[in-house]
Structure 1
Amino acid sequence: MTTMFTTRIKRALAGAALAAMAATPALAQDDTITVASKIDTEGTLLGNMIVEVLENGGFTVENKTQLGPTNIVRTALLSDEIDIYPEYTGNGAFFTKTADDPAWKNAEQGYEKIREMDMEAHDLVWLEPAPANNTWAIAVRNDVADENDLSTMEDFARWVNEGGDVRLAASAEFVESPAALPSFQDAYGFQMTEDHLLVLSGGNTAATIRAAADRTSGTNAAMVYGTDGAIAPAGLKVMDDTKGVQMVYEPSAVVRKPVLDANPEIKELIEPVFTSLNREKLQTLNGKIQVEGLPARQVARDYLESEGLLK
């Protein structure tokens, strides 16, 4: 009787242990870190950087870079299907439904806001971001910028207001959305007319950059995202948004807290990578992929080796 009872207890405990293992994320079973990224160029680049430093640090990594758009990758993280991926601080405004909060237009405040809110609501850790803002911006051809002494949006506004020969290639969304060109005009005190604009269908910055580079219909400026890979090869210069008109989109690695707690060295491996990146470096690295056609993983590895970030 006692032996049968003991056997039943052992079986029950074994069953409970198996159930616990089944309910536990894959990391606890096989020590594999699942890394994902979005499908865009920069997301793939940053995702591969994470893969490289983790593998170099001795981790077994499942590579799910280019998993999908923001909603797919974010959902996978919240569902514990992946462990870490690169995200932008500014997207915290939409994750938390607080887009009207001015904190998102300040790099430090926006980061602290999403870091605190995601920790409290989802047990997610945002590691220190890269000091590179991949947000809407205006870029001017280098020769025109040099000729007119243009570096900032204040300079751009002066150029427009003084009757400069400005011709901006942009999407209809950029021209019409209150958060885009109209917000720049309000903040810096200038007004662009139809004569200043070449409005292209869609929101593809590759098209606007190409138009400015090729001087299509006299264009010499373009709507861009701050770290677009085609900016430097096209000979364009980004005008600094010194008043912080646009939301700040700095890339950060977001990791599930249980994974980080079990493997605190992840932070030590990844943060130096992101903090080493600035706008110009990301423009160059994205350009190697977009313009030169090099594989994202090769570009990631070459950069990490050049910066001494691999053992």
Structure 2
Amino acid sequence: MRRLLCVLLTMLAFAAQGQAVVRVGSKADNEGAVLGQILLQVLRRDGVPVVDRTQLGPTSIVRRALLNGDLDVYPEYTGNAAFFFHRESDPAFRDAPKAYALAASLDLAAHRLVWLRPAPADNHWAIGVRGDVARAAKLATLDDFAHWVTRGGDVRLAGSAEFVESDAALPAFQSAYGFTLRGDQLLVLAGGDTSATIKAAAEGISGVNASMVYSTDGAIAVTGLTVLADPRHVEMVYQPAPVVREDVLRRYPAMRRSLEAAFQPLTVDVLRKLNARTQIDGEDPAVVARDFLRDAGLLR
């Protein structure tokens, strides 16, 4: 209630000054919180009146808020546009430039939403292997992993039920790369928390030496897991990008350059380090975002 009252007072204050407030949202997960704070702090730096609605909820809630006009900008992933528009089988979403171009054109035509240029990081489902195991077996790609498995490699993989069962995850990897993990080679954990599966692999819990991961997981940065490349592009590309209402961008056109400049340094390695600070160290996303922007020369 107190936060809602502050939001309303802020909006009334700017309305009295004749300035349109920009409502900045984000998803509730760690990475979403950091990305949302980056948007918020860059806009504040530029003197844009903002209201903080970051960590609003899951994709469905944040997306609906944007479509309904209750949010003005938030960070989204290019691959999610495939689900928004029921284009999951479109090969364009497995190629970074094409995925961005298609997401941008579909959302502009249907909803007058503008996708700004995405970060170079790609946050998709992947398989990570404990570093010493990967080095000993010379594992760098899922092709290598498939050969290792089919030759009788001693693998036990931890994953959520969704990862193990979803057609877009492990079954898709197995089909594309030609390997099969038996039931006794899988440890299925409740929920979708990758920090739990990564910890199991890193510490060898229950014989686990491989894990489902998201490629920008913070835990990867501190556990030394080797994330296997997906050269056959089984997974769609999930590059984070600011998505903004067209009328808001017209009102504040300079936000395009500012927000794109803030997202360009966000490589996979950078995002892993930022996520590690919130996921592992428990730091405030606002502090993590501020430090990132200062290090990038985008904030004093």
Q: TM-score, normalised by structure 1?
A: 0.88
Distance in 2 separating the partners of 1:34 and 1:170:
36
Q: Which residue is equivalent to 2:249?
A: 260
Distance in 2 separating the partners of 1:176 and 1:39:
25
Alignment of 1:249 with 2:238, yes or no, is yes
Q: Which residue is equivalent to 1:167?
A: 156
Q: SS where residue 281 of structure 2 aligns?
A: coil
Query: Quick check: which has more Rg, 1 or 2?
Result: 1
Q: SS where residue 164 of structure 1 aligns?
A: coil
The aligned runs of 1:6-21 (5 Å cut-off) are none
How many angstroms does 1:29 deviate by?
4.2
Alignment of 1:80 with 2:81, yes or no, is no
Alignment of 1:178 with 2:177, yes or no, is no
Q: Is the contact between residue 131 and residue 278 of structure 1 (CA under 8 Å) also seen in structure 2?
A: yes
Q: Which residue is equivalent to 1:8?
A: none
Q: State which of 251, 274, 277 in structure 2 corresponds to 1:285.
A: 274
Q: State which of 38, 44, 47 in structure 2 corresponds to 1:58.
A: 47
Distance in 2 separating the partners of 1:302 and 1:156:
37
Percent identity over the alignment? 52
Distance in 2 separating the partners of 1:177 and 1:36:
29
Q: Which residue is equivalent to 2:94?
A: 105
How many angstroms does 1:263 deviate by?
1.2
How many angstroms does 1:196 deviate by?
2.1
Distance in 2 separating the partners of 1:100 and 1:238:
24
Structure 1 segments, 4+ long, off by >3 Å, are 26-29
Q: State which of 222, 229, 234 in structure 2 corresponds to 1:240.
A: 229
How many angstroms does 1:54 deviate by?
1.0
The aligned runs of 1:1-311 (5 Å cut-off) are 29-310=18-299
1:244-266 CA distances to partner (integer Å, 9 max, x unpaired)? 10111111100011111121110
Structure 2 unmatched runs, 5+: 1-14
1:23-55 CA distances to partner (integer Å, 9 max, x unpaired)? xxx799423221111111111100000111111
Residue type matched to 1:196 in 2?
Answer: Q
Distance in 1 separating the partners of 2:188 and 2:64:
35
How many angstroms does 1:163 deviate by?
1.9
Q: TM-score, normalised by structure 2?
A: 0.91
Q: SS where residue 104 of structure 1 aligns?
A: helix
How many angstroms does 1:195 deviate by?
3.2
Distance in 2 separating the partners of 1:27 and 1:254:
27
The count of corresponding residues between Structure 1 and Structure 2 is 286
How many angstroms does 1:223 deviate by?
0.5
Q: Is the contact between residue 138 and residue 223 of structure 1 (CA under 8 Å) also seen in structure 2?
A: yes
How many angstroms does 1:102 deviate by?
2.0
Q: SS where residue 232 of structure 1 aligns?
A: helix
Q: Is the contact between residue 27 and residue 33 of structure 1 (CA under 8 Å) also seen in structure 2?
A: no
Comparing 48-57 with 190-199, greater Cα deviation is found at 190-199
Distance in 1 separating the partners of 2:16 and 2:158:
48
How many angstroms does 1:172 deviate by?
2.1
Structure 1 unmatched runs, 5+: 1-25
Structure 1 264/161 Cα, relative in aligned 2: closer, same or farther at 3 Å?
same
1:55-96 CA distances to partner (integer Å, 9 max, x unpaired)? 111222111111111121111111222210001111101211
